Amino acid sequence: MLNFTSYVLHFPSYVLRFFVPLQRTYEFYKSLIMNTRLSVNINKIATIRNARGGNMPNLVQVAIDCERFGAQGITVHPRPDGRHIKYQDVYDLKKIVTTEFNIEGYPSESFMKLVLEIHPTQVTLVPDPPEALTSNAGWDTIQHAEFLTDIVNQLHREGIRASIFVNADPTMVAHAKATGTDRVELYTESYAANYTKDREAAIHDFVIAAQEAERQHIDLNAGHDLSLVNLKYFQEKIPNLKEVSIGHALICDALYLGLEETIHRYLQQLQ
């Protein structure tokens, strides 16, 4: 017996031309009610653009297309040296992003000035020093409790949702609660690095941290090195996962699959 998809493939080509857009439309609206939302990090698009100067690829157009293809958010991480996303990019993106706009970064004076002017949906606070190549650790929410509390309060006064980047450590999650943050984002590099060796061991600490977030009534995000290889298992084991922010792997996949097909596949992993 043919399943529905196989049956459809027997339709004449002129029928398929109508069916495929309808299928994608259905999947887009289905994605809106999924528990876990996909925010596409477009830093790597800016890196490619900056390598040659000019405006190719067009960062704003890529953000528009990501949303059109089903992404439920756009993430950027403007660093002080402007190696990928520049501050002007953030102002330009604010004008066109219609889904959730998430800005990541270390809460320096210049960063806070930027986000308080932009008013994104969410600001994800990361402890990266300016010279860091990429995010490589979460906050110590005990040592930096007073500092983070002040930053979260500043964001809340402007109606901005706050998320704190943490390791998969229930103690760090529990102490994040005291800052008043709305969410924590679990740093998933260790999960991704160990997934192919022993996925049950790789996910263990994240399950514990997620359970602590639920006990503390903090919403949960995750990000760093999540991919088509490891995303579905992570989402299945972390039922209270609100959002994943994915950039590097997604853009790498898009080189082969195209951006639309890649976003479609990531959304499938979250169903």
Number of Cβ within a 10 Å radius of residue 122: 24
Q: What is the pLDDT of residue 3?
A: 46
In the chain, the DSSP E strands lie at 37-41, 73-76, 100-105, 122-125, 161-166, 183-187, 219-223, 241-246
Helix (H, G, I), strand (E, B) or coil at 264: helix
Clarify whether 144 is annotated catalytic: no
Catalytic one of 67, 100, 104, 185: 104
Tokens 């061991």 belong to which residue?
201
Number of domains in the chain: 2
Q: What pLDDT was estimated at residue 2?
A: 42
pLDDT at residue 66 in the model: 98
- Active-site annotation holder among 67, 84, 212, 224: 224
Q: Region of 25 please: left (phi>0), alpha (psi -120 to 50) or beta.
A: alpha
Residue 19: domain span? 1-33
Backbone φ/ψ region at 79: left (φ over 0), alpha (ψ -120 to 50), beta: beta
* Residue 21 and residue 154 in one domain: no
Together in a domain, 42 and 155: yes
- The predicted pLDDT at position 137 comes to 83
* Tokens (6 digits) for 252: 């790498």
Regarding whether 44 and 9 lie in a shared domain, the answer is no
- Domain CATH number, residue 131: 3.20.20.70
Spell out the per-residue pLDDT of the chain, length 271, in tens: 444 444 444 555 555 455 555 555 555 554 445 589 999 999 999 999 999 989 999 999 999 999 999 999 999 999 888 889 999 999 999 999 999 999 999 999 999 999 999 999 999 999 986 655 556 689 999 999 999 999 999 999 999 999 999 999 999 999 999 999 999 999 999 999 999 999 999 999 999 999 999 999 999 999 999 999 999 999 999 999 999 999 999 999 999 999 999 999 999 999 9
pLDDT of residue 8: 41
Domain identity same for 123 and 220? yes
| Structure-token pair, residue 158 | 């402007």
pLDDT at 35: 81
- Confirm whether 104 is a catalytic residue: yes
Both 194 and 252 in a single domain?
yes
CB 102 within 8 A of CB 124: yes
Residues 209 and 259 in one domain: yes
- Catalytic residue among 67, 77, 100, 185, which? 77
Do 11 and 138 fall within a single domain? no
User: What was the pLDDT predicted at 81?
Assistant: 83
Instruction: Identify whether residues 27 and 145 lie together within a single domain.
Output: no
Tokens 């229930």 sit on residue = 170
DSSP 3-state of 206:
helix
- The pLDDT, as a whole number, for residue 246 is 98
**Tell me, what's the pLDDT at 156?**
98
Shared domain check, 14 and 115: no
pLDDT of the residue at 72: 98
Cα–Cα dist 201/216, whole Å: 24
Give the three-class secondary structure for 222: strand
Its pTM stands at 0.86
Closest C-alpha to 195, from 153, 233, 251, 156: 233
| 217 part of the active site | no
